[in-house]
Structure formats: C-alpha cells, structure tokens
Structure 1
Amino acid sequence: MKTFLRWPSALWLFVALITVFAACKDKTPDPAPVPVVTTIASIDPATAPVGSTIAINGTNFNTSPGSNTVSIGGITATIVSASATRLVVTVPTGAQTGAIAVTTGGQTVQSTTPFTVAPSPIKPTATLQGTLFVNRTLSKDTVYILRGYVYVAADYTMTIPAGTVIKGGGPELDPLGKSAAGTLIVERRGKLIANGTASAPIIFTSNKAAGQRKPGDWGGVVLIGKSPTNRPGTTTYFGGVRGTAETYNEPEDNSGSLQYVRIEYAGTGQPLVADSKLAGLTLIGVGRGTVISNVQVTQCSADAFAFYGGTVDAKYLVANRTTRNEWTTNWGYIGRVQFGVGLRDATVADPTGSNGIESQNYDPGENADGSPLVKLSGLPQTAPVFANMSTFAFSTAPTAISAASPGLGYYQSGVYLRRNTGFSLYNSLVYGYPEGVRLEGTTTGLAASLANGAIDLRGNVFANTLTSAAGSGTITSGAANTFLTTPAFANQFVGTADVSTLALNGANFNTTAPNFVPQSGSTLLAGAVTNTKLTSGFFVATAYRGAFGTDNWTTGWTNFNPQNTDYDR
C-alpha cells in the first residue's frame, strides 16, 4: 500500500525533471547588443558659399555642440546647434569642396556625397568721396571705393565693421580732376573706428583687379589728432593733405581705433605736392587715447608706418615688402611701440635709401649750430621708445649701398637716427642691412642725445650686417661704434658666418608665407634687458629679443601675398 502511494509522486518528479531539461536544451542565448552607429544621411543644402549655414542630417550625433567635430574639406566648422539627428554648422573660411566628416563618441564618419563650396555672390560697390559731414557706418556686405581725397570731418565718426573691404581708387578716379589717388583722411577731432577681428580683418587695398595690383596704386590712411607736435602751427601738411599743424597740446586725444587692419599697395606719389608720398598708415599728432594694434602694411611704395608727432602707442605691427622705411618717426613723436616685424624684398628699395627704422627731429638748417631750440607745443625732440622689433632685409650677405647696383636698390641702415632725434630701442633684432645703425648729426646735437640717454640702444641683436655702426655728419663711425658696443648696453653682434646660432625659422624669409618664430635653442629666446623706459604699463616684459618668442601673433589675420586675393565676394 505504501509502495503504491509513492508512485504518483515519483512520476510527477520525473515529468518535472524532463520539462526542466527540455527547457534548458531549447533556450537560446540573448542576442549581442547592437552598437550605436553614427551616420550622415544628407546635407542640406549640398552647395553653399563660405559663411553660410548648412544642416547635416543623420543619426546618433551628440546633442551637445561641443562634443561633435565637423570638418568641411579638412577645415573645422563652427557648430551652431546640435540634436541627435541634425547638426547645423557654418561653412568655414578656407573650406574646399569634398566630403564632410563628423566625429562624435569616438567615431568618425564621412558623407558619401561631396559638399560643394559655392562662390560667394559678388558684393555691391559704393563710392566714398569728398568730405563726410556725417557719422557713417559702413557695411561688410559692400565694397567701398575711395575716389580722391576722402575726409572724415571734425566731430564726425566713420565706423568700419569687421570684414569690410575698402579699395583705394587710382588718380583717374579723382572726382575733382586733380589726379589725386584715393586716400582716407580723418581730420582733427574726427574718429575712425575700424575694429576687425583675427578671422575677419578690415582690408584697405588697391582698386586694381587681382593679378594687376602694385605698390603705390592709391594713397593710404591718415589720422590727424590734437596731441602735440614740434612743428610751428603754420606748417602745412605734406602729401597734399589740407590744413596746418596748429599748436594743440592734448596728449590723451582720441582719434579712434584700428585693430586687425590690413593696408595693401598704398603709398602713391600725389601730384598735389611735388615729391610727397604718404605712408601706408600716417599718424599726425595722434594721441594715446587712440588704439593701434594688429595692423599690417603690405607693399607700400613709401613708408609703411609714419608717426609725425603725437603720443599714440602701437603694438603688433607688420611691414611687408615696403619700398622705403618700415617705421618712420618725426615731428616730436614720443609714443611707444612694441612687437613689430618687417620683411623686405631685397630686390626692391628706394633710391633715397631704405631703412628699417628712421627717426629724425628737425628739418635741415634748423638747429644747425646746435643752439637750443624754442619748445613748440612742449615737444622739442622726437623721443619714442621701441621694443621687441624685428626687421629683415637680405637673407644672405647684404649688398653695399651703391648707385652701381640699381637692381638691388639702395639699402642703408637697420636703424637710422638723424637730425637731433632722441630714440630708444630695446630687445630688438636687425638682420641683413649694410649698416646695423647709422648715427648722423652734430657733436652738439645728436652727440648730446647719446651722452644724456635720449638715444638708448640696449639688448639688441645686429646680425648679418657689413658694419654694425656708421657715423655721418660730425659723428664719426668710430664714435658710433664705441657707443653701440658699450658693454653695459648688452648689444650682440652676429657675423654672417655665425647667423646659424640665431636658429631662425626655416620659413623666416619666405616672402609669401613667412614664419618668424625662432626654432628651439635660438639665442634670441633669451637675453632681454630691462630698463626704466620699459616699466610703464604699456610694455609687456619678455625674456626674448626680437618680435617673437614662441607665439606667432601674425597667424590668421595677415596676408603676405594678397596679389590674387578675391576681395569682391
């Protein structure tokens, strides 16, 4: 009886075991997780110009714009907005036709069809001429043509947005029929607000077509302020600019702001005044309330930068293939300049003599006997302070000054100090000039400035020169050399055979795409001096000599070869 009662329980146990076994045998493993894949399905629109926005449609984008990277033809684009299925981006400057790449979540995918960069539409043009008695704001979507002398009158302001192009017309466009080339002149009490950016500089250039531009196609840019000069008030301006110097004494005067600005192919001779040229950027009595920073002057047939009196400071200046002088100071200029680089075309120079820096004070005949001069507007002497400048002429041994070598022009001095100037230069590099420094004057004029410290040259490097120092007038070359080599001044002299110790960048003398940042181990990266003239809040303390340490501040906003640049779109 007991055996019979156990039989159903055993049977049920057997059935349960069979069921479990069968279930285990038939169970399949869970499928592996499907990986998340980023795809690009379409581009809308598939053709668009630089600066426009396009949408990239697909899957599995990161919803945070900064967590995606988009490149168009190898150039990284700015992402405007992001969702899991759509990225909106701006077509970047420099983008080329080709596949669009998206990187997100460790994956990079490319579009299967190319994106086409379309030509930008040609911008409309507008004319600027005569005297502007109005506050005027230009538009980056219009190209402006300067016809003749264009004046921004006293008490009015011209504002130029980033990315705007202004072309200087040739003499044939002068509306007055006087053959004056296009020139922008901001008169005393007027203002020019021209603030570009590194990615969208403001361009002043030739009105000639691409491929036909040349130095001297137009006049240049002139600012006139109320900061003092040492000229008599009745002195007329040069270059055909209307007005006289007058006798203002407002060192904090403000003529506006120029930041990230390029000035190309200026410096024409103006028929209004014989033998008179304006610089690419001419500053007359401009006060230190004015901002001058990141300005490039390219292929000017006169001086690149000219400071006539005033107190304005300037930083980050580029003089590219200038014909005459790169930096000129005169009329009692006492401002400060730091970080400037000049690169010459050694086959082009001015018959009157091409220099890196030229500083002078009074015209010939003034103070000829060394007698004290009457102060004019409180400024008896030009006495600016320059620091961290680099000027490059010949890459190989320079050619001596000679009328017998017109093919090489008439190169003279890296630094030319004359006519009783006071000038200070610190921690700078002068390379490839026949003369490193020329001191020209009288023993009672310029010699006094050498003795009292008004002329001060310290911590500089003079390299690849035929002679380090030369004298002229009653200053002998021996006296000039004794001054420059004073041990306490810590100037360095590097012969042509030893320039490798400077370890200049391999592209330093590439006139169309230079790089001025010295190589690691360069002796230029150390050795800077300090001086009381450098202790103002304006100057940045550096350990290096020359315009560059490890940062290439010319990147992005400069153009060393604008001959074929399309400025019409």
Structure 2
Amino acid sequence: MKRLALGLTLGTSLLAGCPGPVEPDTTDDVSANITQNTTWSADKVYTLKGYIFVESGTLTIEPGTKVVGEEGSALVITRNAKLNAVGTAEKPIVFTSAKPEGERAAGDWGGVVLLGNARINVAGGSNTIEGFFATSGDDRTKYGGTDDAHDCGKLKYARIEFAGYELAEDNELNGLTTGACGSATELDFVQVHKGADDGVEMFGGTANLKHLVISQPDDDGLDYDLGYSGKVQFLVVQQNDRVGNRAIEASGNKTTNTATPRSVPVIWNASFIGSNRAPATTGTKQEGLVFNTGAGVQLSNAIVAHFADKAVDVDGAASAQLSESGNLSIQNTIFWQNKGNTTSIDYSANPVKDAAGNTTNADATRLSDGTIYKENEQLLATVNNNRVVDPMLSAAVNAKTPNFKPAAESQALLTSNAATPPSDTFFDRTATFIGAVGSTDWTAGWTAYPEN
C-alpha cells in the first residue's frame, strides 16, 4: 500500500474486438450524494465530479453503463447502502478516467469503495477507510462491525481502469477497495487495470472474490489485511515491468500481530505473473507472494511465475508460525522462472534473532520440519505437491494482448498435479487444474488492456 488507488473501470477502447458500451449521446454530471434508490442507465455517461457517497438506498448500474471519474473523484458505497452493478460479458459496466483515450493514466481518479459491517481486527471493531483522513469524523467513511454475512451488494462483469491516488503516505485508495464487506457480497468477473496503487485491497471482512483479473497495477495486485478471511477462486494478477511490486501482499494487524480474526483467506486456482524484468538493484522489488504481521493463506492450484526478485517472502515469525496450524500453506503449486530460477523456488530467508542480535533460527519460513519448503527441492512434490516446471503460458507477460491459458501439453492441466477444490457452494469443484485458467478462457471477451 503506497498510494491511494481505488477504482473500477472498463476501457472503451475496443481492443481486439473486446465488447464495450455503445457511446451514449447524453452525459449526466454526478455532484450530489445519493440518499435513495437510484438507477444509472446505459443511455448516459455518468461523470463523477468529486467524492460521491451513496448514503442510503441501492445504486443500480445497468449493463453497458459507462461511469467516468474526474480528478479527485470516487464512488463510495457506505455501510447503510448497497451497490447493484451487474453487467454481462457482452455489456460490461465500465468505470474509467474522464480523460480522453490516449491521455488516461493510473491515478486519474479515486475509484470505487465498498464499506460494510463485517468484523475487522482493530481495537473497537471499526475504522476509517484509507483514502480519507480519520480526523474528519465522517461516519460515511467508517467500516467494520459484527455481521460477517453483511451484503455490500453486487459487482459483476465490470472493468476497472486508471484509478487511484495518494492522499498521504500509507493512506491510499485502490482499484477496488472493500472495508468489512461480508459474505453476502457478490464480486465476480471484475477486472482492475492500471491502478496507481493496489488493484484490489480487502480491509477485513469475509467478502468472496471470483473470476478476478488484476492487470498491471503500480503496486500490489491483491492486498489484504485487518483480518480478511474470504474465499477466492480464479484469480489472475499480472504485474507491470516498471513499478509493479507484489502479486499478493498479506498483512494482519501491524500493532498486534496475533489480533483476530486473522488475515487467512482460502485461495484456489490463481495465476500470479511477474513481468520477467531484470532483478532490482535499487528501488521497488518485484515479489510474488509476501506475508507479514501475522497474515497467512490457504493457497492451492496456483502458478507463481516470472517475478524479478522473489517467489515467496514470509516476513516475520507471526506469519511463519501460522504454517503449524495449516493457515499458511502453499500446495499443488507450480513455480517457474522467479529471479530467473528454473530449478528451485526462489524465496526470502527469514532469520529470527534474539534480543542480543544472535540468530536463533536461520530461516523461520521453513520452520523445524520444513512445513512450507524443504531443504531438498526434490522433496517438494512429496510434501505439498509443489513443483518447479514451465507452466507453458505463452503470452502471460504480454501487456497489450495477454493470454493466461496454458498450452494443451502443460503440466498445469494434469489433474494428478492439482487438487479438487473444497466441497463448498462457492467453489467450482470441476477446476482440477493449476492456475486461474484451464482449457476454457473465462477472461476472453469482456476484459481489455488499454495502455492509456
């Protein structure tokens, strides 16, 4: 989290035949907050003129509608309201920059914020969402409560472009920001493209994510913290080759590393793709998966490939110890060409020192029995069914026309290398392949990757 970047956008440059809304003849400037049920229709372009708060009621956005944000704008759905933005593959909903095509850039506007009443792991149970000053005392920016089933609404078949900016250091909005949204929230078939900070950040809560594409963020892809414990399936993160940082940055509570609920989502079928650039000598490093301040994950059927500096970094004993309970586990995962490594997993050693500065554990990520990794890389497959092999993704690092579908002969498609997702109404149990995309490309048709 380095800059404020929040936004959902769908580029209207129809790249490679990608569908988008027909440009309407009329525009509607939105400058007033919303206090009742309201519908935005596809026959208009809606321009956000500043922070627009949906204070109560439901904001319905019809398929094919285009919403553009001017500098200093954002759409905020408060705890007392809902969003009902359901597009289709043929008519996705577009949230983008108000600037003309060819002049758009990451950070042009603030994006979309969803706030709810689920639990977060901070003292008092509520917080002010990043992107706003906590001293403002504005209840519309608050999130957190006791209802883990809270419904922030629906967001489906929507693209997110050119959002995010920094209000102050460590106080940023992202492409899509959720604060304490509960499990009744539906986030499915969403793309966040070229955000100035993280693509998606989940501040606590239990909201689930499905069919999510985060392309070329300036910072992290999926950032979660403050007790986020939702479910995720079919996740693509593609980093850019300039300033993109981590595919996942997982944090718990920086003040109290063991605060509950812990930040431990369950993630199945993910493709984390670095830019394949040279390792950093100065400046921002590009890492695959980073866990710190007591956060973990239950990750399975994933690909971690082409990161410049590290594949995995378990930073700190509070996160490393979660592996003992299975709350930091990486299984059935393919690693490839991270820091150029095609024979082993490139990870960050995590030494533990006592008060005198003496090393008491050379690498806490392995722990005493090598729960996450083994000293002998040949044992990887027998322990967690992880392997180092080319997943054969021919165009995953392509910024303009990426393709995350593995070749037919890829080991990612072998069911013996994968596991069956959990028996749960959320998970698709037919996804017995490694990575976000199997033999059918669910990203085709509704996503777009405009440069500006």
**After TM superposition, is the score higher than 0.5?**
yes
Q: CA deviation at 1:307?
A: 0.8
Q: Counterpart in 2 of 1:471?
A: 349
Bigger RCO of structures 1 and 2 (CA < 8 A, at least 6 apart): 2
Contact 1:189–1:226 (CA under 8 A) maintained in structure 2: no
Instruction: Give the AA of the match of 2:450.
Output: N
Instruction: Give the AA of the match of 2:204.
Output: G
1:231 aligned residue (122, 125, 129): 122
Q: CA deviation at 1:344?
A: 2.0
Q: Counterpart in 2 of 1:57?
A: none
1:558 aligned residue (443, 447, 451): 447
Q: Which one has the bigger helix percentage?
A: 1
Contact 1:389–1:546 (CA under 8 A) maintained in structure 2: yes
| Aligned mates of 1:237, 1:473 — CA distance in 2 | 34
Superposition pairs for residues 20-419 of structure 1, below 5 Å? 123-154=25-56, 156-170=57-71, 181-233=72-124, 235-240=127-132, 242-243=138-139, 245=142, 248-270=145-167, 273-349=168-244, 354-363=245-254, 365-367=255-257, 373=259, 379-395=260-276, 398-403=277-282, 410-419=284-293
Q: CA deviation at 1:468?
A: 2.3
Deviation digits for residues 120-154 of structure 1 (CA, Å, limit 9, x no counterpart):
77521111224211211011111111111110013
Instruction: Give the AA of the match of 2:292.
Output: R
Contact 2:111–2:163 (CA under 8 A) maintained in structure 1: yes
**Inter-CA distance 451–401: structure 2 relative to 1 (3 Å threshold):** farther
SS at match of 1:484: coil
SS at match of 1:125: strand
Q: CA deviation at 1:452?
A: 1.5
Largest Rg, 1 or 2 = 1
| Aligned mates of 1:456, 1:158 — CA distance in 2 | 39
Contact 1:251–1:287 (CA under 8 A) maintained in structure 2: yes
Contact 2:320–2:364 (CA under 8 A) maintained in structure 1: no
Q: Counterpart in 1 of 2:315?
A: 440
| Aligned mates of 2:61, 2:451 — CA distance in 1 | 21
Q: CA deviation at 1:245?
A: 4.8
Q: Does 1:537 align with 2:425?
A: yes
2:386 aligned residue (491, 494, 510): 491
Unmatched segments (≥5 aa) in structure 1: 1-74, 76-91, 95-119, 171-180, 374-378, 564-569
Q: Does 1:511 align with 2:390?
A: no
**Inter-CA distance 431–153: structure 2 relative to 1 (3 Å threshold):** same
| Aligned mates of 1:552, 1:380 — CA distance in 2 | 35
| Aligned mates of 1:457, 1:274 — CA distance in 2 | 32
The two structures have a TM-score, normalised by structure 2, of 0.84
| Aligned mates of 1:313, 1:453 — CA distance in 2 | 20
| Aligned mates of 2:143, 2:59 — CA distance in 1 | 24
**Inter-CA distance 280–473: structure 2 relative to 1 (3 Å threshold):** farther
Contact 1:469–1:484 (CA under 8 A) maintained in structure 2: no
Instruction: Give the AA of the match of 2:43.
Output: D
1:421 aligned residue (279, 285, 295): 295
Deviation digits for residues 54-86 of structure 1 (CA, Å, limit 9, x no counterpart):
xxxxxxxxxxxxxxxxxxxxx9xxxxxxxxxxx
| Aligned mates of 1:321, 1:124 — CA distance in 2 | 32
| Aligned mates of 1:165, 1:211 — CA distance in 2 | 17
Deviation digits for residues 16-61 of structure 1 (CA, Å, limit 9, x no counterpart):
xxxxxxxxxxxxxxxxxxxxxxxxxxxxxxxxxxxxxxxxxxxxxx
Deviation digits for residues 351-386 of structure 1 (CA, Å, limit 9, x no counterpart):
xxx1001111011x434xxxx65xxxxx43111111
Q: Identical aligned pairs, as a percentage?
A: 30
Contact 1:258–1:291 (CA under 8 A) maintained in structure 2: yes
Contact 2:350–2:363 (CA under 8 A) maintained in structure 1: no
- The count of corresponding residues between Structure 1 and Structure 2 is 404
SS at match of 2:29: strand
Contact 2:180–2:203 (CA under 8 A) maintained in structure 1: yes
SS at match of 1:483: coil
Contact 1:513–1:561 (CA under 8 A) maintained in structure 2: no
SS at match of 1:462: strand
Runs of 4+ in 1 over 3 A off after TM superposition: 241-247, 475-479, 527-531
**Inter-CA distance 503–266: structure 2 relative to 1 (3 Å threshold):** same
The two structures have a TM-score, normalised by structure 1, of 0.67
| Aligned mates of 2:201, 2:362 — CA distance in 1 | 27
Deviation digits for residues 144-166 of structure 1 (CA, Å, limit 9, x no counterpart):
11111110013x11000000000
| Aligned mates of 1:562, 1:160 — CA distance in 2 | 26
RMSD between superposed Cα atoms in Å:
2.3
**Inter-CA distance 135–435: structure 2 relative to 1 (3 Å threshold):** same
| Aligned mates of 2:191, 2:23 — CA distance in 1 | 27
**Inter-CA distance 200–488: structure 2 relative to 1 (3 Å threshold):** same
Q: CA deviation at 1:319?
A: 0.7
